[in-house]
Amino acid sequence: MDSKYLLSDNPATIAMALNKAIDEDNQSKAKENAKTGQRYYDYKHDILDNRIFYIDDNDVLQEDKNASNVKIPHAFFTEQVDQKVQYLLSNPVEIELEDEQFKKRLEEYYDEDFQLFLQEALEGASKKGHEYVFAKTNESDRLCFQVSDSINTFVVHDDNGKNKRIIRYYNKDIFREGKDITVTVAEVWDEKQVTFYVTDKNKRFKFDETRELNPRPHVIAKDEKGMLLKRSMDTLPFYRLSNNKAEKTDLEPIKALIDDYDLMAAFLSNNLQDFSEAIYVVRGFRGDDLSKLRQNIKAKKTVSVGSDGGVDVQTVAIPTEARKTKLEIDKDAIYKFGMAFDSTQVGDGNITNVVIKSRYALLDMKANKAEVRLRAMLKWINEMIVADINRRFNTSYKAQDIKVNIVREAMVNEKDIVEIERIEAETKQIIIESILAVAPRLDDENVLKLICEQFELDWEEVQLLIEEQGYSSGLQDDTDPPEEGVENAAAGQVAQGA
């Protein structure tokens, strides 16, 4: 598209350029892949368009509308996208700050709606290759964030490749000329304002003169006194969250495998339905027609034939084992190349945490790539939030002081953890008993150090605590130093208490 018209300051020029720009954007390869990813996430696979054909007696290709045509989409992609999002964000994103007042104000933004927004953004990027998010202000004049569907959003660059404007468009139902109609609304955002355009009855964009304020600043809100506030953010309030460097969807590596799995499963069902009954080959039939033959076989289990006649029952062997093997191969490849966790794996029944961790290895790799990009977006978000906090409270906080924690959620074998903890406790007990057994041969200081090491205690703090206890009990006397048994007993008390 020619961006110079979309960068014009003339609304009529922009309106004229919008029609072509949106058409070109819709027809781009990236948008086609994004729409396919969205479609497969909604389990609307290509198998749903499957048709069965045959060659008739005149060598003409015909659709066989009487044949079984099972269409079963298998929602592997839906599972893998949700798995990735929930693995990363099932636990709320946490923030760490030394300044408690700053943290309290920041937590106002990190509410439940914000956590939901993060999940929607990551989900959208996984399905469509990238997703746009943008900052806006709610009625309380507080910054919040929202996802902008990347299928209906695109950026306009200048000659140097710098982002100058963002265009997002969507359908809207309105009442015009006495009837309800659907129009397309286009928003053109720049660093200062947003301008609205709407399609006319000829489906051509025009400047929307029905809006009370057009163009308008980025922010329109009301203060505590009900006064209307108008403010610009002095930047494009949009961020593009990429799924990966090439902005490929998570579907692309596995789409062919999913299609093959759908096809194998569907035709296995078709074969089972079409060949569920035997085929009767009749020689010398003396009846009236084949309908009577079928009735006799069904009701009387007999059929009358001539002296040289007979009935042969033919069955068709369906290659079920081959299809089942192919389905299993496809499924394994879908999880492998989709870098996902296969919860149907059985193994030998010895499900230790080491085994579970190995099964999460591919999902961990995919999550690592997603987390790096998610953190980059959170950095941009935090800068926007801190600027909003400083505006609202007249403070000078810095976004660099914020530490973001993303805690992943994975299954574990609780029994395995308990068993490991029991073994560690028994091992530690044996070590302590061994230390106390050789204590008479060692000096008190080394004995106490060895015990503190086992319980990860600070030896100097423990030593100070023992001295204070000895002084308060009257045991600390320069003329009568404590015997080694006294300090050993105190060390034993430390070990018992720990």
Instruction: Please compute the mean of the pLDDT values over residues 311-327 and round it to a whole number.
Output: 71
Cα–Cα dist 133/148, whole Å: 5
pTM attached to this predicted model: 0.74
DSSP 338: T
Tell me what percent of the residues of the chain surpass a pLDDT of 90. Answer: 44
Predicted local distance difference test score (pLDDT) of residue 59: 82
Cα–Cα dist 279/313, whole Å: 6
The CA distances from residue 32 to 96, 150, 320, 347, 367, in Å, are 41, 12, 36, 39, 25
Q: Between the CA atoms of 358, 362, 363 and 364, what dihedral angle is there, to the nearest 10 degrees?
A: 70
Please state the domain extents for the chain: 3-42+92-247+370-405, 255-365, 414-497
Cα–Cα dist 128/35, whole Å: 7
What type of residue sits at position 156?
V
Whether the Cβ atoms of residue 221 and residue 141 lie closer than 8 Å to each other: yes
Range of weakest confidence among 70-74, 298-302, 357-361, 399-403: 298-302
Nearest to 390 by CA among 400, 399, 381: 399
Whether cis (ω within 30° of 0) applies to the bond prior to 215 is yes
Cα–Cα dist 430/494, whole Å: 16
Predicted local distance difference test score (pLDDT) of residue 400: 93
Say yes or no to pLDDT of 67 above 90: no
Tell me what percent of the residues of the chain surpass a pLDDT of 70. Answer: 79
Cα–Cα dist 352/413, whole Å: 6
Task: Quickly state the pLDDT bin for 495 (edges 50, 70, 90).
Answer: very low
Give the tens place of pLDDT for each residue, 201-247. Answer: 888 999 998 888 889 999 887 666 666 778 889 899 999 999 999 99
Task: Enumerate the β-bridge partners of residue 197.
Answer: 186, 207
Range of weakest confidence among 29-33, 395-399, 456-460: 456-460
Cα–Cα dist 186/169, whole Å: 4
Task: Quickly state the pLDDT bin for 498 (edges 50, 70, 90).
Answer: very low
Give the tens place of pLDDT for each residue, 344-386. Answer: 776 555 566 566 677 788 998 999 999 999 999 999 999 999 9
Phi and psi torsions of 308, nearest 5°: -105, 15
Instruction: Tell me the helices (H) and strands (E) count for the chain, helix number first.
Output: 15, 17
Cα of 467 vs its chain's centroid, Å: 57
DSSP symbols for 1-58:
--HHHHT-S-HHHHHHHHHHHHHHHHTSHHHHHHHHHHHHHTT--GGGG---EEE-TT
CA distance from start to end of the chain: 71
Predicted local distance difference test score (pLDDT) of residue 484: 46
Residues 6+ apart with CB under 8 A from 460: none
Cα–Cα dist 404/378, whole Å: 8
Q: Is 427 exposed, middle or buried (0-12, 13-18, 19+ CB in 10 A)?
A: exposed
Predicted local distance difference test score (pLDDT) of residue 485: 47
Give the tens place of pLDDT for each residue, 437-463. Answer: 877 877 777 777 777 877 777 777 777
Say yes or no to pLDDT of 318 above 90: no
